[in-house]
Structure 1
Amino acid sequence: MALNSKLHKVTSRETDIEGEEFQISEQSFEVVLLIISLVTKGPNSKPMGKASRDKRDIYYRKAKEEGWRARSAFKLLQIDEEFNIFEGVKRVVDLCAAPGSWSQVLSRKVYLPVKLSPDSKESDLPLIVAIDLQPMAPIEGVIQVQGDITNARTAETVIRHFDGGKADLVVCDGAPDVTGLHDMDEFVQSQLILAALTIVTHILKTGGKFIAKIFRGKDTSLLYCQLKLFFTEVTFAKPKSSRNSSIEAFVVCENYSPPEGFNQKDLHRLLEKIGSPSGADDLDCSSGWLEGPNKVYIPFLACGDLNGYDSDRSYPLPKSADGSYQSLDPVQPPIAPPYKRALEMKKASSHGLQGLEKLSLDP
């Protein structure tokens, strides 16, 4: 079938095969990948069912039962159990918030207890601002800002919502799509954290806290030193709900204390200096300088009840009276996920080449 002749050109990819140069559109390239996937998996292959995932992922099941939008809510709850991060918090910012499970935790742990208190006043209500490029369904007590965390205007918007004040706590559960190449994933994630740190230096008050997801790797010590420059206490934590097989962990930064005379415009220059052998010795944390007396030992804690659920273990499914199990739907699927296009193509692939061809012709 002359499939490519019916596909309109959007963006071109060039390749060289046996001395001949070919061009293929971005959409054609996606279709080719899906065709390969179909051939590899076979026409009768089926995705793992809901009940199977409920059995092998206890926190996914519990999230649906307790009304959380994602299992990641338990990670923030377990971090709070260890560090008591919500104590005295009146203003909070959730970076990379969608689909909103961490914002839900903030609403339930920070906003609702004050709202439901019989002595509370409107002026006493905590302020929670959630920021993401993608929209998300509303959450009580959460102000949504759809914007880029690296944009100065986003920081200005947050300050306006706080009536000129600054946040007591900033959390960030954002992460890029993982490639499976751990060094690459760790590097990209560390850059995301430093991007979050950029807005943190504008919106976090002195003495405030910053919580962010990290990927553990060989340059973790460099990230530790970069954050230690701005916070007196920096601890890496692994919640019980985070799988042991995952390189994911979280950094808990307490007591925001930027260097004397610090200017936000100098942030990236200062961070580059930390990892450079030509920089000041007391700031140097690059891999080659972490031997002998210069070696950095990073505090690392396990969070959550050690006798609680094991995220790497399968648990029996609760049965109803008739012996059946009814899997619950997710509480709130993402409104406009970045992988929407991939889902559409996966659905079209179930109809074979005709479905893929039709999807490729859609504007």
Structure 2
Amino acid sequence: MGKSSKDKRDIYYRKAKEEGYRARSAFKLLQIDDDYNIFEGVKRVVDLCAAPGSWSQALSRKIYGDGSDPDVKIVAVDIQEMAPLKGVVQIRGDITKLETALEITNQFDGKQADLVVSDGAPDVTGLHDIDFYGQSQLILAALNITTHILRPGGCFVAKMFKGNDMTLMYNQLRVFFRSVQFVKPKSSRNSSLEAFVLCQHYYPPTDFKPTMIDPVIDSYKELSKQSLSQVNEFIVPFIACGDLNGIDSFNFTT
């Protein structure tokens, strides 16, 4: 059965059409908020890899609302253009570039975000190990820019794929967040290996200095000698290392 036919049977596909959302994925973010209250007290939000904009649309409705709170600011970032949304400032930029991080903080008048979300994914090949690696690199890129724009105590949510190296991903993220959980909202199809990593209470290591790195560069030691502090020199090789241990991926919660 083709994808179109399957989508038309899907309750969240129909619900998105009825409620005017650009994609059914909006309900994934809304359900994460229902379960974990990630929108509570949030004024400044960044949506990375935002196009076509369903998550930005959910943020607009839930956080910006009628626009009565002048402190609420939502920034959507993508290299592609997307249709305008009420209360959402769009930035066409690459999340691996420092100028993109600086433009985001400029939109917040020099302040940092309370919440950073990312529903981005690379083009899938159907080869799970390759797709998991590609998605892991995208999460690393999102985490990298997040260290520049997220306030201490803030929250980070990103799409991920279930795989054997989730132990490594968990430990990478625990360097920066006091709580890391892998969650799967009910609107995410059971047949899909998609899940979401929910990172709460951002507290980077003492003396950590955010530095934009290219996640596909292998010579981290040489890079760290050029531009990173001793703290960064310790963390970056750790992020880049491999892990041969298999895990039951959804048992990680702190």
TM range (shorter): 0.7 to 0.9
Secondary structure at the aligned position of 1:273 is classed as helix
State yes or no: 1:182 paired with 2:147.
Answer: no
Q: Cα distance, 1:58 vs. partner?
A: 1.8
Q: Cα distance, 1:287 vs. partner?
A: 3.1
| Among 111, 127, 144, the residue aligned to 2:64 | 111
State yes or no: 1:273 paired with 2:238.
Answer: yes
Task: Identify the residue that residue 161 of structure 1 maps to in structure 2.
Answer: 107
State yes or no: 1:133 paired with 2:87.
Answer: no
Once the two structures are superposed, residues 124-147 of structure 1 have per-residue CA deviations (whole angstroms, 9 ceiling, x without a partner) of 340000000000000000000001
Count how many residue pairs are aligned between Structure 1 and Structure 2. Answer: 234
Query: Do the aligned partners of 2:172 and 2:238 also contact (CA within 8 Å) in 1?
Result: no
Q: Cα distance, 1:274 vs. partner?
A: 5.1
**RMSD value, Cα:** 2.4
Query: Do the aligned partners of 2:112 and 2:150 also contact (CA within 8 Å) in 1?
Result: yes
Secondary structure at the aligned position of 2:184 is classed as strand
Measure the CA separation in 1 of the matches of 2:162 and 2:102. 32
- Given residue 287 of structure 1, which amino acid in structure 2 is its aligned partner? L
Once the two structures are superposed, residues 244-275 of structure 1 have per-residue CA deviations (whole angstroms, 9 ceiling, x without a partner) of 11110000000000001112234576132256
Q: Tell which has more relative contact order, 1 or 2 (C-alpha 8 A, sep 6+).
A: 1
Measure the CA separation in 1 of the matches of 2:103 and 2:239. 31
| Among 10, 18, 30, the residue aligned to 1:65 | 18
Q: Cα distance, 1:239 vs. partner?
A: 0.7
TM-score (norm: length of structure 2): 0.86
* Structure 2: gaps (5+ residues): 212-227
Query: Do the aligned partners of 1:211 and 1:253 also contact (CA within 8 Å) in 2?
Result: yes
- Could you list the structure 1 runs, at least 4 aligned residues long, displaced by more than 2 angstroms after superposition: 47-50, 52-56, 265-269, 271-276, 285-288
Task: Identify the residue that residue 37 of structure 1 maps to in structure 2.
Answer: none
Once the two structures are superposed, residues 158-210 of structure 1 have per-residue CA deviations (whole angstroms, 9 ceiling, x without a partner) of 01000000000000000011111111110110000000011000000000000
- Given residue 61 of structure 1, which amino acid in structure 2 is its aligned partner? R
Task: Identify the residue that residue 210 of structure 2 maps to in structure 1.
Answer: 264
TM-score (norm: length of structure 1): 0.61
| Percentage identity across paired residues of the two chains | 60
- Given residue 89 of structure 1, which amino acid in structure 2 is its aligned partner? V
Task: Identify the residue that residue 95 of structure 1 maps to in structure 2.
Answer: 48
Measure the CA separation in 2 of the matches of 1:164 and 1:233. 26
Task: Identify the residue that residue 235 of structure 1 maps to in structure 2.
Answer: 181
- Given residue 38 of structure 2, which amino acid in structure 1 is its aligned partner? I
Structure showing greater radius of gyration is 1
Measure the CA separation in 1 of the matches of 2:180 and 2:135. 17
